[in-house]
Amino acid sequence: MNIFRFLGDLSHLASIFILLHKIQTTRSCRGISFRTQALYVVVFIARYLDLFFRYVSLYNSAMKLFFIASSCYILYLMKIRYRPTHDPSIDTFRVEYLLAPCLILALIFNYKFNFAEVLWSFSIWLEAVAILPQLFMLQRTGEAENITTHYLAALGAYRALYIPNWIYRYFTEGLVDPIAVTAGIVQTGLYLDFFYVYFTKVLQGQKFELPA
């Protein structure tokens, strides 16, 4: 564990707490893509099934359980508790266009051709693009509540912080994980436009609005 990965994980945790806080305090999931949240459930279950056969550390297991449980809870909040506040008519990104290519990438790029490893690779690629329905929705509405942008910023920062972690691990442990690194760079890249608007508008006290 190094400081970059730890801060990345904290940022990921923070993003979930911000999202839960947004839903609970506004009693609404307006502006949040159900499709993106559902993809995260798929990502976490696919990747963290290794809880059953791989033990890394208490920290690792606790985080995995938290990410699975919290992502399922968010789906429950969106689909049942605050269902009327979710507007499916603006959440229309076709997730098949993400799932199928990720499955193909996982079949081609994996560390071993077995079920667990292909599933792991699939979850890594899917995580990289799971934010697209949310960003697509943001693009369509052209604006977002401040709290939603803080959620997205924390979520984007999480994988961005893994990049210096991988550089650090390469130099200290000689360790390279080409699949995670490639997908992580793609994932961070998808946030660049968002980060630009977040830093130049939201953090300057303005509302998050995209140019028409």
Q: Could you give phi then psi for residue 55, rounded to 5 degrees?
A: -110, 125
What is the x/- site pattern for other proteins, positions 93-132, by CB under 8 A? ------------------x--------x------------
Contact 112, 121 (CB under 8 A): no
Identify which of residues 83 and 112 has a Cβ nearer to other proteins in the complex.
112
Identify which of residues 12 and 22 has a Cβ nearer to other proteins in the complex.
12
Span interacting with other proteins, options 5-13, 88-96, 100-108, 192-200, rule CB under 8 A = 5-13
For the segment 124-183, give every residue that binds other proteins (CB under 8 A).
Answer: 162, 165, 175-180
User: Could you tell me which residues come within 8 angstroms of residue 53 by beta carbon, excluding any fewer than 6 positions away?
Assistant: 116
Instruction: Report which residue type is found at 125.
Output: W
Q: Could you give phi then psi for residue 144, rounded to 5 degrees?
A: -155, 155
Contact 19, 168 (CB under 8 A): no
> Which residues contact other proteins (rule: CB under 8 A)?
5, 9, 12, 50, 54, 56-57, 60, 63-64, 67, 111, 120, 162, 165, 175-180
